[in-house]
Amino acid sequence: MRDRIRDPMVLTVLLTILPLSGCQPQSLEDLRAEALEAYKEGDFQRSLELYERAQDLVPPDLPHLHFDQASCLIQLGDFDAALSACNTGITKAEYYYGDPDAPEMAPHYYSRGITYDGSGRFEEAIADFERAIALEPNTQGVKNNLAWILSTCPDEAIRDPQRAVQLATEECQRTAWPHPFALDTLAAALAANGDFEQAITIQQRAIELITDDETFAEELQSRLKLYEAGKPFIEPSEPQPTHS
């Protein structure tokens, strides 16, 4: 996976849609803004340190910063620590929202699903993505990530190309078709379903939309060559590295 997760910008979104309701002093807002900026710049270690400092400024029952920290840990490759942070956050979120099935829980399950996905625990990732969709179908990015697993998982028993096409199409429609990540996923789903002609068209469109990420463009070009050769893209079977 690119940068160990399907869509790095999704995590930036998660950091901004999980507000710390009410009780934060300006110093906390400043820390969180600085941490988010460090994250966007790719300085994930500094971002993590800033979120850890911010954690000391919030009431202990607030769940949100645990997911901020998990986002950084995912990027640093420490999936075990990220999963621990997600689990702590979900436990607190259930208490915070007063209902484990509250729609507000969806981004939290999505965040943990990303962690499972990055560490190769695909069935658990799928379960969390499905839970997020059930709680809030319009959770940004979750259908994209689920479709990616169902299209490209190295475990053939997990792949479900037809459902992947459905989910990826819904995600593209939700974003009005502009995002290369969503189009890349749709192309992978179409290729997994044997529709290489349409996969090529969609992948070419995705490449056209990339303006400032040469590495990602090269990645999409490599998949395009597979589709042109009549082959789907399957993720490598090796699990992502973790740090103890």
DSSP state string for 204-222: HHHHHH--S-HHHHHHHHH
Q: pLDDT (tens digit, 0 to 9) for every residue of the chain, 244 residues total?
A: 443 444 444 444 444 444 444 444 458 788 888 999 999 899 999 999 998 888 888 777 778 788 889 989 989 989 999 999 999 999 999 988 899 999 999 999 999 999 999 889 999 999 999 999 999 999 989 999 999 999 999 999 999 999 999 999 999 988 776 789 999 999 999 999 999 999 999 999 999 999 888 999 999 999 999 999 999 999 987 654 333 2
Measure the CA–CA gap between 125 and 116, rounded to whole angstroms.
5
Number of domains comprising the chain: 2
- Is 189 found in the same domain as 88? no
- Is 112 found in the same domain as 74? yes
């658990």: which residue's tokens?
A: 124
Which domain, by its residues, includes 11?
1-18+25-140
Token pair in block for residue 67: 């997911």
Q: For residue 238, what pLDDT is reported?
A: 63
In a domain, 239, yes or no: no
In a domain, 31, yes or no: yes
Residue 225 has a CB neighbour count (10 Å cut-off) of: 12
**Model pTM?**
0.83
